[in-house]
Structure 1
């Protein structure tokens, strides 16, 4: 069977203003998709949209019809906001759940509001996205794909990441369950599990030199490498419950 082509397809990427999210959006644009950059900050989304429009489609995917990239400003934590997204974009072929918040504090020092916000941003939002977009894909009989961007901390957590790690582990459980539940509708559900990736979030990480020595490949990954994995999951029609580790071998040590 030929690979699923992203040419002319609509891909929604949350957390698309920068870092891994924008890298995935850029790769999908290169593959010919019409990308919807989704997030909470309008100005950042518009800046990312300008950059996205500068990306040339890969030669073999060239088409006379111009790509139609766009933005959608909304709060991923709100179920009603997700309903608004699918109303504004009635056909979604690929959903990438990449939005989320990091954590750098001990559980005993976290307020209830901070914990709830982390749960809503990193896990509830992914559930709402899978539910609303999955229902839309089913109703339109779209052979779609959902990709959840988890984290190595889902099963190799460190001090100060307790709630974050729990949400990312929850994403993997959700992926496995939905890969079975949604398969009957022709919808594939997969996950990318990045380790330490060279983004703004890792610029000031503590003990970076020691961490690099623990990673078998001796370096952090790049957003482009994560985007390559997301493109593979979107295009390979036998990838379902495929959970790809991108950690330079750190999970093996």
Structure 2
């Protein structure tokens, strides 16, 4: 039996109470990592944590090291506190996000600000404070590097009406990823991104899934578990840096 791929690692996953973030938290925990599940609602996080343990199939679910921590990514002080209290953190997944379904001309400033603050600015804060802590405590001498994974979106470079601000925030994550991959690599910190297409989550249920499915060459939506597979690869592969991993069922090809 193969050893767990993330044994001895400590990971933080934002947006971990549902969808892709929840699936990544589950996969990392099943691979031996201690996982800090971060989100705005402590109640939702606890529910997600308990559900993960129930569905994991692990013989002893209590052995899974899952922790629920209320954490608003938009607040810099939260990131400073997390870095201070968890200096051993060596994997960060920026997955928190809110979506948009409105034409730009009809979108009020407040929703725009919320999207940018949650999807992009929160990730920048995380990369700043957690990334700095990772560089200070680089563990590459132990045989592996630290890793930041930004969850972007196919909409970052495939135009869809009504998603402009969301698309801009996700495109910003790709720019953040490539810049920091160059900036952080000398200190042993890898920065990568996943670019999912249409994934079957609560965020996509109102976005015309049937229409989207008909356009996807593989003729189906992706699953959160498939995105979690990609996150595990990026976290565990010590040569993956500035890796922009497309996961869209071939939609970007058409």
Q: CA contact under 8 A between 2:230 and 2:245: conserved in structure 1? A: yes
Tell me which residue corresponds to 1:28: 28
Where do 1:135-214 residues align within 5 Å?
A: 135-142=132-139, 143-206=145-208, 208-214=209-215
Question: What's the RMSD between the two structures over aligned residues?
Answer: 1.9
**SS at the partner of 1:75?**
coil
Give the number of aligned pairs: 245
Shift of 1:205: 2.3
- Equivalent residues in 2 for 1:104-119 (5 A)? 104-119=101-116
Partner of 1:242: 243
1:147 to 1:239, Cα distance in 2 relative to 1, 3 A: same
- TM-score, scaled relative to structure 2: 0.91
Whether the aligned pair in 2 keeps the contact of 1:29 and 1:52 (CA below 8 Å) is: no
CA offsets 1:93-117 (integer angstroms, 9 cap, x no match):
1000000110011111122222111
Distance 1:119 1:145, change over 3 A: same
Aligned to 1:12: 12
Q: In the TM superposition, what is the alpha-carbon distance from 1:57 to its structure 2 partner? A: 5.7
Q: Is the 8 A contact 1:32 1:57 kept in 2?
A: no
- SS across alignment from 1:53: helix
What is the rounded CA distance, in whole Å, between the counterparts of 1:68 and 1:30 in structure 2?
9
Aligned partner of residue 145 in structure 1, secondary structure? strand
Please list every run of 5 or more consecutive structure 1 residues that lacks an aligned counterpart in the other structure. none
Q: Moved runs in structure 1, 4+ residues, more than 4 A?
A: none
Query: Do the aligned residues in 1 keep the contact of 2:20 with 2:225 (CA within 8 Å)?
Result: yes
Q: How does the TM-score come out when normalised to structure 1?
A: 0.92
Deviation at 1:67, TM superposition (A): 4.3
Q: 1-side partners of 2:159 and 2:248: how far apart?
A: 13
- Establish whether residue 78 from structure 1 lines up as the match of residue 80 from structure 2: no
The equivalent of 1:93 in structure 2 is 90
Once structures 1 and 2 are overlaid, which stretch shifts more, 227-236 or 88-97? 88-97
SS at match of 1:122: helix
Change (3 A) 1:155 1:44: same
Deviation at 1:71, TM superposition (A): 1.5
Task: Please state how far the C-alpha of 1:5 moved relative to its aligned partner.
Answer: 3.7
Deviation readout 1:192-232 (Å, 9 max, x if unpaired): 000000112222323x3332221110000000000000000
CA 1:198–1:38 in structure 2 vs 1: closer, same or farther (change >3 Å)? Answer: same
How many Å separate the matches in 2 of 1:228 and 1:197?
13
Unaligned runs of 5+ in 2: 140-144
CA distance in 2, matches of 1:243, 1:69: 27
